[in-house]
Amino acid sequence: MVPVILVLLLALLLFGVGFAVKILWWVAIAVLVVWLLGFVMRSTSHTGTRSRWYRW
């Protein structure tokens, strides 16, 4: 009985980790798209040059 419970807990743990990793991939793709859009669509200054895309 104990090995069956351990196998079921392991399967549940691996499913949870796989689901979390899949969600994190989608979040990473969304952040990349927003970053690229901000990089491409940044505004220009009054001299016509593009402003810095970072705030360091």
pLDDT at 26: 93
Report the alpha-carbon distance of residue 35 to residue 29 in Å, rounded. Answer: 10
Written as six digits, the tokens of 46 are 């009054």
Written as six digits, the tokens of 21 are 């990793």
Q: Tell me the pTM.
A: 0.58
pLDDT in tens, 1-56: 888 889 888 888 888 888 888 889 999 999 999 888 887 777 666 666 666 656 55
Strand, coil or helix: what is 50? Answer: strand
pLDDT at 27: 93
pLDDT at 2: 87
Residue spans per domain, the chain: 1-36
